[in-house]
Amino acid sequence: MRTDELLFALLLVELTDAVRDRDGDRVVHVLRRLYDLNPVWTDFLVHRLITEARRRPTAN
């Protein structure tokens, strides 16, 4: 695994933790780091997250 792929994977773990903790500032920070590392992968990731969020019903 290349260094940039490994770093991207580690940042995904950090992003998951930030989302789980509902820490919006941290989510934005991690997304910016992901985008700096690989804009194409990050664009795809954000698109998938938005698509999945729209499919799921919201909790009350």
- Give the number of domains in the chain: 1
SS3 22: coil
pTM, two decimals, is 0.81
Q: Is residue 24 part of a domain?
A: yes
pLDDT, position 43 = 96
Give the domain range for residue 49.
3-55
CB burial readout 22-39, b (16+ within 10 A) else e: eeeeebeebbeebeeebe
Q: Is residue 19 part of a domain?
A: yes
Q: Is residue 60 part of a domain?
A: no
Which residues does the chain have with pLDDT short of 50? none
pLDDT, position 57 = 78
Q: Is residue 45 part of a domain?
A: yes
Of residues 44, 35, 29, the one with CA closest to residue 8: 35
